[in-house]
Amino acid sequence: MAKVLIAGCGDLGAGLAIELLAQGHSVTGIRRTKKHFPDGVIGITDDLVGMNDDALPEADIVFLIMTPNGRNEEAYRAAYFDTAQVLIRRYNNRAKQPKVFFVSSTSVYGQSQGEWIDETTSAQPTSATAKVLVETEQSLAAAFSSVAIRCSGIYGPGRFRLLETVLSEKEWGANSWTNRIHRDDVVSALVLLANSALREETMPEHVIVTDQTPVSMWEVKLWLATCLGAKVAVSSGEGFAPASGKRIQGQYLLSQGWRLQYPSYVAGYHELLREFNALR
């Protein structure tokens, strides 16, 4: 039985915790707000940055899965870099350090001319928030044996923002490439990586988690608009070909036997649409 700490036990963390508990591991979860945790999780409701080191448990594996309070540099630094420093301070000098997994983002790839991106591509962050993510990745890698888990756009239960945008019938703007991954497939990827760590297998410093199906944003919105009965909000002056964005694929997880439950947005959004329509 391994001791696992999930720092940031929200939606993704809770899904991961349930799977690891089912495998017989001990799981401690920390979240800033709310006191609800999956049954069996040792739950701590507190701000990780303000916690005393001795409040953090011994751990064989640590997952850092934070959500920033905003989409600016300050919010990202508080959520990611500052929390990483707490983990470094707590665990860096242990005789046996934990394996650390940091859930990052494919936004670290600033390329935006339709380039193909994979795990051999160098991160080229252009935004201030993406630069914070890279700083966090590098900080953890300097202190631990760590893996940055770079996820493309996560969608799934309760994540209705794109549906609401399409239903609002606001102008779609210029077309671009988009890359997505269902929440459940992220969880299965995290479980696979945890089990690899427990087997002490060698892993790369970063892996990409995406559904392998880059697609134009207009295609996604057109399909959703058809399903929702919403207006196709494209101005006549816009060209159909994506004008920006990148096309992302990751091979490492597939090479380790990972199989997608939702290999495209169509497969994943069917269930989300049913949930969304039931609430309308």
Q: What is the pTM assigned to this prediction?
A: 0.96
Would 26 be classed as within a structural domain?
yes
Would 174 be classed as within a structural domain?
no
Would 280 be classed as within a structural domain?
no
Would 84 be classed as within a structural domain?
yes
- How, if at all, do strands 177-178 and 215-216 pair? antiparallel
Would 122 be classed as within a structural domain?
yes
Would 268 be classed as within a structural domain?
no
Q: Which domain holds residue 9?
A: 3-155+182-213+247-261
Q: Length of the chain, please?
A: 280
Would 49 be classed as within a structural domain?
yes
Would 236 be classed as within a structural domain?
no
pLDDT tens, the chain, 280 aa long: 999 999 999 999 999 999 999 999 999 999 999 889 999 999 999 999 999 888 999 999 999 999 999 999 999 999 999 999 999 999 998 888 999 999 999 999 999 999 999 999 999 999 999 999 999 999 999 999 999 999 999 999 999 999 999 999 899 988 999 999 999 999 999 999 999 999 999 999 999 999 999 999 999 999 999 999 999 988 766 668 898 999 999 999 999 999 999 999 999 999 999 999 998 8
Dihedral Cα 272, 8, 126, 108, nearest 10 deg: -70
Tally of structural domains, the chain: 1
Contact 227, 219 (CB under 8 A): no
Residue 92: CATH number of its domain: 3.40.50.720
